[in-house]
């Protein structure tokens, strides 16, 4: 993955690598070996580096996850053991740490209590990662909707603004 250049040589922390130069390619995000499912491990790492994904891939991810949600009932019955995760609020790095301490994503049952977005600066990244994981493990990852997953709160807090800002940044011409 090609990294951004630093033509001004003004990075405050020189040892911190710049973010990836381009969005993650569709071939990397949806490798053939995963049969049309996103590579959640690669995505987790790419987003940790503040990488982006293409708008079309975001729409595909949301659409694929919505198909799973529509087939789930309004009432879910879960049995222990399971890891319960509350209020992520756009804290992507905390979410990644939660997966480290909460148990292996492939073998641990997770219940998210909602409030994925707002307040933190990485709500989109949180949604992208948990949706990618849900698509890969639909029978062990479960979501409840929090009060921040409504239009009124996402407009009042910062999720709507984050979406607008990141869309604007991604639509600017690349400077090399």
Residue 56 contacts residue 30 (beta carbons within 8 Å): no
Among 128, 131, 148, residue whose Cα is nearest residue 54: 128
Options 21, 46, 79, 148, the catalytic residue: 148
Is the CB of residue 116 less than 8 Å from the CB of residue 148?
yes
At 83 the three-state DSSP class reads strand
Report how far residue 30's alpha carbon sits from residue 57's, in angstroms, rounded to the nearest whole number: 9
- Omega before 81 cis (within 30°)? yes
**Any catalytic annotation for residue 148?**
yes
Quote the strand ranges of 59-100, DSSP E.
Answer: 83-85
Residues 29 and 39: beta-carbon distance below 8 Å: yes
Residues with catalytic function:
148
């Amino acid at each position: 993955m090609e990294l951004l250049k630093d033509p001004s040589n003004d990075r405050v922390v020189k040892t911190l690598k710049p973010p990836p130069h381009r969005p993650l390619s569709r071939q990397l995000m949806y490798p053939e070996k995963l049969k049309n499912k996103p590579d959640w491990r690669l995505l987790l790492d790419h987003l940790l580096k503040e990488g982006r994904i293409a708008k079309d891939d975001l729409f595909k991810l949301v659409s694929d996850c919505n198909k799973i949600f529509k087939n789930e009932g309004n009432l879910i019955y879960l049995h222990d053991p399971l890891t319960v995760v509350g209020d992520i609020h756009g804290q992507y790095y905390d979410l990644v740490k939660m997966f480290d301490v909460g148990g292996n994503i492939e073998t641990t049952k997770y219940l998210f209590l909602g409030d994925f977005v707002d307040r933190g600066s990485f709500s989109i990244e949180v949604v992208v990662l948990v949706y990618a994981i849900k698509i890969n493990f639909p029978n062990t990852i479960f979501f409840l909707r929090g009060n921040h997953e409504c239009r009124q709160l996402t407009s009042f807090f910062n999720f709507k603004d984050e979406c607008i800002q990141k869309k604007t940044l991604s639509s600017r011409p690349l400077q090399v």
